[in-house]
Structure 1
Amino acid sequence: MSTTPVHAPVPGRAVALRDVPDPVFSQGMVGYGAAVDPPREVIDAVAPVSGRLLKLMPHAYIIMTSENVGVLVHLGLDTVTLKGAGFSAHVAEGDTVTAGQTVITYDVPAVVAAGLDPIVPVVVMDEREPGNVVVGDAVATGAEIASGSALFTANK
């Protein structure tokens, strides 16, 4: 069994995935994990794990670790409708990134101004067993979390 620590890609208030106001995430349809409600300012979204950037969209990215754990970071809900506005990538799809490296600059106020929820779900792709994701204390208590702090651990 591999154990993968997954770090917060943005600062803010840690949120249990079941409390994300989108059933695709809250019901674990994409996978299980946690979320962060970011501050209402322009912030850098960083890699929550080290690995290869499998997919890079303006509003989301997937990093595949060396243990074949795919971690999705989704910047805001329904932000695909913004067609890239409010997001600036600093890396390219296929790049190798290290945990804590800036991937996208995220203009949270622009997302809020567009009437969208800026919450950032972070999930293990295709994880069907919620028990394989162990959330950190910040998620369990809804506490503030710093970017790069432990968000959850993925067990495969």
Structure 2
Amino acid sequence: MSTTHVLAPVAGRAVSLQDVPDPVFSQGMVGYGAAVEPPHEVTEAIAPVGGKLLKLLPHAFVVLTPDNVGVLVHLGLDTVALKGEGFTAHATEGDVVTAGQLVITYDVPAIVAKGLNPIVPVVIMDEREAGNVVAAEAVLEGAEILAGAHLFTANK
């Protein structure tokens, strides 16, 4: 069994995944994890784990750990429609990143101005067992969390 410690990719209020207002995330269709509601300011999204940047889109990225655990960071809901507007990549797909490394600058006010929700779901790709993901205390309390702070642990 491998244990993956997942960090918050952005600062903000830690939120339980089931409270994300999108059924794809809240019902665990993509996988289980947690989310962060960022402040309404330009923020830096960092890698929540170390590994290979398997997928890099303007609004989302997946880091594959050496244990083959894929961690998805999705910046905002329905932000794919913006076609990259409000996002600046600082890495390239295929790069090896370290936990805490800057990946994307996220213009939260621009997303909010478009009427979209800026919440940042972070999930273990294809995790079908909610019990394999243990949320940090901040998530359980809905507390403020710093980027790079412990968000949840995944056991596979």
Percentage of matched positions with identical amino acids: 74
RMSD: 0.2
Shift of 1:71: 0.1
Query: What TM-score, normalized by structure 2, do the two folds share?
Result: 1.00
In the alignment, which residue of structure 2 is the partner of 1:85? 85
Corresponding residue SS for 1:73? strand
Deviant stretches of 4+, over 6 Å: none
In the alignment, which residue of structure 1 is the partner of 2:9? 9
In the alignment, which residue of structure 1 is the partner of 2:60? 60
Q: Distance in 2 between matches of 1:27 and 1:43?
A: 27
| 1:122-150 deviations in Å (ceiling 9; x for gaps) | 00000000000000000000000000000
Q: Distance in 2 between matches of 1:29 and 1:120?
A: 16
Q: Distance in 1 between matches of 2:19 and 2:43?
A: 22
- Letter paired with 1:154: A
* Consecutive unaligned residues in structure 2, runs of 5 or more: none
Q: How does 1:104-143 map to 2 (within 5 A)?
A: 104-143=104-143
Q: How does 1:8-87 map to 2 (within 5 A)?
A: 8-87=8-87
| 1:68-93 deviations in Å (ceiling 9; x for gaps) | 00000000000000000000000000
- Letter paired with 1:71: V
Corresponding residue SS for 1:104? strand
Shift of 1:115: 0.2
- Letter paired with 1:97: V
Q: Distance in 2 between matches of 1:4 and 1:55?
A: 19
- Letter paired with 2:46: V
Q: Distance in 2 between matches of 1:111 and 1:82?
A: 9
Paired positions, count: 156
Q: Distance in 2 between matches of 1:50 and 1:151?
A: 14
- Letter paired with 1:10: V
